[in-house]
Amino acid sequence: MAFCNIQPRTHWMQTPGSTANCPPGLEYLTQINHLFVCQRFDLLEVFSPFETNKTYDVMNNQGQRLYFAEEKSNCFIRHLCGPSRPFTMTIYDNVGCDVITLHKALRWSCCWSNCCLQKLKVEAPPGEIIGYVYQYYHPFLPMFKITNENKENLMKIRGPCVVSSCLKDLNFNLLSLDEEMIIGKISNQWIGFMRELFTNTNKFGIQFPFDLDVRIKALLLGASFLIRTTCILNSGHKSQPEKSYQTLLALSFASPQQN
């Protein structure tokens, strides 16, 4: 990865001490209740028809960087498949060690066939699977489930019936397995037509219990990338497909509440 491209005005969060039963590099997630994932500006993509590999800064609510994320995908496949493309995204810590790897499979954006449903594999550290994010069939709603490394269900994510509306916020509820309790929420905040037209900025907020296992927090971080790709970039919330100055995903963690 090219650390020379990281903006110098953003400071790294101080490296936390090691935590028992915590994958290396995920110690940051034990100390925070907000994450911000900001897509970095790419001049080549703005002024040309070419899709480039996306890069992101992952920060806390004080603007300190926790991680740097870098997509790796084939140039031809990026141009041909757009948001449906397969990719591997590597998430690095402040010394350049890769701590999380996301593997997205090639799936077209369709919920009518099992072969088209989206899925994401999450590894932390790379090479060691901690879980998966699966889209599953629903006739009206975008639905996802979070599973552990043994593919045992942990929780569900339910999106809104209409994702293409650009006149209101989008909320993806994080649910218990029986869908009776709202554990948290992934929210996309609409910022206004003119600003989105020129910046394509998306703001996401994720709410869930602060004391949630760090592995599940990493899985939800991966789910945010998958939801952005699956539901946002293929909806009316994109003005220019993946051509943006900045895409911002804000993740904030809160306590459970009854539905």
Determine contact, residues 230/135, Cβ cutoff 8 Å.
yes
Residue 194: what pLDDT?
A: 43
% of the chain exceeding 90 in pLDDT: 29
Q: Cα(207)–Cα(86) distance, rounded to whole angstroms?
A: 27
Residue, of 110 and 126, whose pLDDT is higher: 126
For 44, the token pair is 């080549």
Q: Cα(58)–Cα(102) distance, rounded to whole angstroms?
A: 14
pLDDT mean over 113-128: 83
> To the nearest 5 percent, what fractions of the chain are helix, strand and coil?
20, 35, 45
Q: Which of 144-153, 168-177, 212-221 has the lowest mean pLDDT?
A: 168-177
Torsion of CA 110, 221, 217, 33, to 10 degrees: -130
Q: Cα(192)–Cα(141) distance, rounded to whole angstroms?
A: 24
Residue, of 167 and 177, whose pLDDT is higher: 177
Highest mean predicted confidence (pLDDT) among 42-46, 135-139, 176-180, 199-203: 176-180
Residue, of 99 and 12, whose pLDDT is higher: 99
Residue, of 82 and 139, whose pLDDT is higher: 139
pLDDT band at 59 (very low <50, low <70, confident <90, very high): confident
Q: What is the pTM of this model?
A: 0.80
Q: What are phi and psi of 168, to 5 degrees?
A: -155, 165
Q: Cα(142)–Cα(169) distance, rounded to whole angstroms?
A: 15
Q: What's the angle, vertex CA 90, arms to CA 129 and CA 36, rounded to 5? A: 105
Determine contact, residues 115/109, Cβ cutoff 8 Å.
no
b/e map 29-57, b = 16+ CB within 10 Å: beebbebbbbbbebeebeeeeebbebbbb
Determine contact, residues 70/37, Cβ cutoff 8 Å.
no
pLDDT band at 35 (very low <50, low <70, confident <90, very high): confident
Highest mean predicted confidence (pLDDT) among 3-12, 126-135, 177-186, 250-259: 126-135
Residue 238: what pLDDT?
A: 42
